[in-house]
Structure formats: structure tokens, C-alpha cells
């Protein structure tokens, strides 16, 4: 071997080492496949090539990447143009190896096939190659086909290179033994890199499936929180991309890699995983008296009992006037009964309205509930005269705003404590180590008055603050809550502007949220058209 050839071989070996290192760093499967084929073409001087993968059932090879430089053919991978060619079965219908196809032969017998000229090669069917040449004017000559197997010697693909070119003349020449050795080394490194990437992808899919399983469990408990668990991460990513895109202002330096995006997406999906521990009757409490059912019907029944008692008492008083005919006295009894019935109906309607919790109660309204509960009495099923409302019913019906008592709010708020406990116990890999902090901070406030840890803005990551804004906006605009209708964009943004100035949400992120049109993009995808009034 001449000195020049030796130097060239060393140069190609160094190139091979660099390629192996680059392949091990690539995370995107399509880009990795492209890099494998391009590296093999470069290191062997090939004009074109094809990369095949094995179908999931291990029965055939399918085209992943197809390149021919001299024809400008660039299909598959990240191009967005798939290789529209049929798969290559590994066996014939009779069940024997499909050895007439060179790629299948190399895969089935685990050996490299080096052909100097396809047109004179024996034992292989190159009819498809000849048809391609006739259609394009190309001349497919030298072929180098290398099987790719993982560490368990399982076939994962085939690398096929076409038309080696002399570096000086550009003429098509056979692939040399050095070319074959380098291609085999590259195929081995590429198989390791591809296997590792596939294993990581499988683990990621498994992890995402567990996340989906948790959200499905929450969804099965409550369809309201289920939608929330899907919309918040979507809105979070919209805000994150908007912050990533800004070129000036306080967030000009914020940038995300693909790993950063994946980490934030996972945090968004898991931000309410602790709700799996929250009793469904609290999560879905649509009225103040609702538990497993709305107990306002029980209160209605008591009113009917009181009305019946009033009617019976009036009839008894009227009968007591008999046999003396005293129509005036009977009229007075009747009028008194009508007033009592009217008062009962008025109190019943008041309690039904109070039970909805749609408007805040003032002190007078709360006192009226207490008066009805204590001053009116009814005979219970045991025949005992008792207060019309129980202490627990009075507590619920006098809730100032909303439908939850303080104890129930504490139960709801506990979900974020449960979320933190659940996420902090997991052995997160390095690229997901921030998920607990991102997910666990969405109920904190910028002024330190949030929960569960009372963190201030400076103590929170930007990503946790993003999920906080997404969580609030989704809750305000959601139309699938049992206790309210979804607000319009203008209403929600008006409330959030007050939260911004009140130290609840991050002001810089909210400015980006509004200025970059995130609410409008979210509305197009998730809200009713009537809500998009901005």
C-alpha cells in the first residue's frame, strides 16, 4: 500500500470515528437515519444509497431513506417526502428466504454483499433496478449491501450503497475491500446508535403511556379534570414557544432546546396528577349541597312536609269552627294558610338559588339561611320535631362564594401536595429532573402567598410560572366545569390583568401571553367560537 493510500485510509478512519461520535449524540430517529446513510455515502464515495428498516413483525424490509446525488433524489427521513416503494418480504409465499433480492439476502444470511456490476451479477433479481435506470437514464453499477444488527444480533436494518466513484476521475468503480470494511464498521456503530435511540424512544413512549394512564384515571373519575389535564400542557407549550420567539424585553434571553420542550411538556401533563387522590364528589361539586347527589331535593321534601302540615293545621282550625258557620273566621284561616304557603315557597326558592353558588352571598343572605334553619322546624321520619336544616347544611348553604366549604377547599388544595409527593419519589433521568419543580409550582404566587410552599417569583423557575398562567387561563375559559360556564377571552384576560397587578401571576410572561396572541391561538383550537371575543 502506498504512503498516499495509507494516509487516505487513516483519514477515513478518523472520519469514521467522528461519525460514530456524532451518531451517538443524535436524538431524532429520522435525522439519525439520514446521518447514517449520508455518512456511509461520504466515507465510501458512493453516489447513492438506501437505508431499510425491519417491519415490526420482522417479516419484511421497508424503505426509510433513498438518496441519489447525481439525480437529485432525496426521499424519506426529515424531507417530508416518503419513499413510495413497496416493502421487500424476507420470505417468499412458499416460506423460503427471498434470496433473489440482494438487500433481503444480506439481511437473511447476515453477510455483506459486494457487487461490481449489477447487470452482470448472477443469483440476484435486479429487474427493479433496470426499470429504474430505464426510466431515469441512470446506470446502476456497483452495489455494497451491509446488514445492520444490534447487540443481540437481531436485524434492525440494511444499508445499501450504489455506485462508488473514483475520487480523481469521478468514474463509477467497484467498492474496494477498504470501502467494505469501513461500511461494515460504520454499520456496526450505526446499529448501536440506532438501537440505543430506539430503546430510549421506547422508554419515553412507555413513560408517556404511564402519564396518559394517570390522566385517564383522573378522566374516568371526572370528565371535567380530564379535559383540564390535556388542555393545560397544550397552552403551556403555546406560551413557552411565544416566550422562546421574543427578541427583546425581559424574556429575550429565554431559549429552549428539544429536550427542554419535552421536559416542560411532561411537567404540564403531570401538573395535576395528585388529583387522582381527590374524592370525586369534591372535584365535581356543582352545588353547595351536592355530595353523591344534590341534597337540595331533600330540603324541597321538607318544605312539602311543612306545607302539608300547614294545610292540615288550617283544616283542623276550620273544622273546629263547625257546626257554627263563621265564614269570616274561615276566611281568616284560609288567608293565614296562603301567607304561610307563600312564605314557605319564598324560602324554598331562596335556598335553591343560594345552593347554586353562582353569585357571592352577603351577610344578610347568610343570616336568612341560618334563620330558616333554626326558626323553622319539621317532623322528621322518626316523628321528632327538629331544626329544618342541619348544621352541615347551614354551613354549605352559607358558603360566601362558590360551592366548596373551607374543608373541601383544603381537600382540593391537597392535590398539589400529593402531586409533589408523587413526582419527588420518582427516579427522574437528568433530562427530566426539573419536572417535579415545574409541575409542583403552578399554585404558587409571585408575592409568596400561594401554596403549598409559599414560594416567591424569584424562587420559581420560568417554566413553573408558565404552567401557573396556563392553569388559571384554562380554568377561567373551560366550558366543561359542573359549576360554571366558560368565560370569554375578554372576561378571562380582564381577571388575569388584575391577578397580574395583584402579584398572583408573572407580569412579564403575561405580557408575552397577550402580546403574542396566545389566547387567540388557544381559542381557535379549544374554545367555542362565541368565547373568542378579543
Integer Cα distance of 91 and 242 in angstroms? 51
Residue 302 or residue 473, greater confidence: 473
Mean pLDDT along residues 57-77: 92
pLDDT at 453 over 80: yes
pLDDT score recorded for residue 136: 92
Note the maximum CA span of the chain: 141
Per-residue pLDDT of 17-36, as tens digits, reads 555 555 566 667 778 778 88
Helices (H) and strands (E) in the chain, counts: 18, 10
CATH number attached to the domain at 222-283+408-531: 1.10.3210.10
pLDDT at 5 over 60: no
Q: Would you call 232 exposed, middle or buried from its count of C-beta atoms within 10 A (0-12, 13-18, 19+)?
A: buried
Q: Is the pTM of this model over 0.85?
A: no
Q: Range with the lowest mean pLDDT among 74-78, 326-330, 376-380?
A: 326-330
Integer Cα distance of 184 and 402 in angstroms? 69
Could you count the other beta carbons within 10 Å of the beta carbon of residue 519?
24
pLDDT score recorded for residue 112: 94
Integer Cα distance of 504 and 85 in angstroms? 57
Mean pLDDT score of the chain:
86
**Which phi-psi region, left, alpha or beta, contains residue 450 (left: φ > 0; alpha: ψ -120 to 50)?**
beta
Secondary structure percentages of the chain, helix, strand, coil, to 5: 60, 10, 30
Eight-class DSSP state of 502: T
Structurally, at CATH architecture level, domain 3-200 sits in 2-Layer Sandwich (3.30)
pLDDT score recorded for residue 445: 93
Q: How confident is the model at residue 481 (pLDDT cuts 50, 70, 90)?
A: low
Mean pLDDT along residues 306-311: 86
User: HSE-up of 519 (CA within 13 Å, CB side)?
Assistant: 28
Beta-bridge partners for 157: 53, 148
Residue 162 or residue 39, greater confidence: 162
Tell me which residue of 94, 88, 122, 93 sits closest to 108, measured CA to CA: 88
pLDDT at 1 over 50: no
Q: Range with the lowest mean pLDDT among 119-133, 332-346, 455-469, 478-492?
A: 478-492
Per-residue pLDDT of 415-444, as tens digits, reads 788 888 889 898 998 889 999 999 999 889
Q: How confident is the model at residue 251 (pLDDT cuts 50, 70, 90)?
A: very high
Amino acid at each position: 500500500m502506498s504512503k498516499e493510500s495509507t494516509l487516505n485510509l487513516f483519514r477515513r478512519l478518523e472520519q469514521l470515528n467522528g461519525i460514530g461520535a456524532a451518531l451517538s449524540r443524535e436524538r431524532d430517529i429520522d435525522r439519525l437515519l439520514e446521518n447514517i446513510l449520508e455518512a456511509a455515502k461520504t466515507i465510501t464515495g458512493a453516489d447513492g444509497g438506501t437505508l431499510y428498516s425491519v417491519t415490526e413483525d420482522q417479516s419484511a424490509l421497508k424503505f426509510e431513506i433513498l438518496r441519489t446525488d447525481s439525480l437529485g433524489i432525496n426521499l424519506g427521513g426529515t424531507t417530508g417526502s416518503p419513499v413510495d416503494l413497496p416493502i421487500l418480504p424476507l420470505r417468499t409465499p412458499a416460506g423460503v428466504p427471498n434470496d433473489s433480492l440482494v438487500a433481503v439476502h444480506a439481511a437473511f444470511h447476515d453477510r455483506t454483499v459486494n457487487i461490481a456490476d449489477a447487470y452482470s451479477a448472477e443469483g440476484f433479481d435486479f429487474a427493479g433496478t433496470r426499470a429504474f435506470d430505464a426510466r431515469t437514464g441512470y446506470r446502476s453499477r456497483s452495489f455494497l449491501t451491509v446488514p445492520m444488527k444490534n447487540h443481540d444480533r437481531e436485524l434492525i436494518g440494511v444499508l445499501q450503497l450504489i455506485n462508488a466513484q473514483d475520487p480523481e476521475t469521478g468514474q463509477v468503480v467497484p467498492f474496494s475491500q477498504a470501502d467494505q470494511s469501513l461500511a461494515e464498521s460504520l454499520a456496526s456503530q450505526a446499529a448501536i446508535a440506532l438501537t440505543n435511540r430506539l430503546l430510549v424512544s421506547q422508554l419515553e413512549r412507555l413513560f408517556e403511556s404511564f402519564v396518559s394512564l394517570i390522566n385517564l384515571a383522573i378522566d374516568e373519575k371526572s370528565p371535567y379534570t380530564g379535559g383540564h389535564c390535556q388542555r393545560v400542557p397544550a397552552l403551556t407549550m403555546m406560551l413557552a414557544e411565544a416566550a422562546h420567539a421574543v427578541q427583546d424585553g425581559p424574556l429575550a434571553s429565554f431559549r429552549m432546546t428539544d429536550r427542554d420542550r419535552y421536559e416542560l411538556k411532561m411537567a404540564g401533563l403531570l401538573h395535576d396528577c395528585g388529583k387522582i387522590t381527590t374524592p370525586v364528589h369534591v372535584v365535581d361539586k356543582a352545588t353547595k349541597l351536592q355530595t353523591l347527589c344534590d341534597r337540595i331535593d331533600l330540603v324541597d321534601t321538607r318544605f312539602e312536609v311543612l306545607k302539608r302540615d300547614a294545610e292540615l293545621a288550617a283544616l283542623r282550625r276550620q273544622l273546629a269552627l263547625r257546626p257554627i258557620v263563621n265564614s269570616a273566621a274561615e276566611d281568616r284561616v284560609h288567608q293565614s294558610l296562603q301567607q304561610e304557603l307563600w312564605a314557605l315557597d319564598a324560602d324554598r326558592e331562596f335556598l335553591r338559588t343560594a345552593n347554586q353558588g353562582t353569585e357571592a352571598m352577603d351577610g344578610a343572605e347568610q343570616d336568612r339561611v341560618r334563620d330558616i334553619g333554626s326558626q323553622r322546624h319539621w317532623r322528621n321520619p322518626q316523628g321528632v320535631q327538629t331544626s329544618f336544616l342541619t348544621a352541615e347544611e347551614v354551613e354549605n348553604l352559607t358558603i360566601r362564594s362558590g360551592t366548596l366549604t373551607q374543608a373541601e377547599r383544603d381537600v382540593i388544595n391537597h392535590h398539589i401536595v400529593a402531586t409533589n409527593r408523587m413526582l419527588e419519589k420518582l427516579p427522574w433521568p437528568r433530562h427530566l429532573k426539573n419536572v417535579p419543580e415545574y409541575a409542583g409550582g403552578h399554585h404558587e404566587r409571585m408575592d409568596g402567598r400561594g401554596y403549598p410552599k409559599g414560594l416567591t417569583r424569584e424562587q420559581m423557575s420560568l417554566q413553573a410560572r408558565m404552567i401557573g398562567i396556563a392553569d388559571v387561563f384554562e380554568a377561567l375559559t373551560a366550558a366543561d366545569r359542573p359549576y360554571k360556564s366558560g368565560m370569554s377571552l375578554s372576561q378571562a384576560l380582564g381577571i388575569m390583568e388584575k391577578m397580574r397587578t395583584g402579584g398572583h401571576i408573572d407580569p412579564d410572561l403575561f405580557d408575552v401571553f397577550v402580546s403574542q396572541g396566545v389566547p387567540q391561538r388557544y381559542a381557535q383550537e379549544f374554545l367555542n367560537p362565541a368565547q373568542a371575543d378579543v
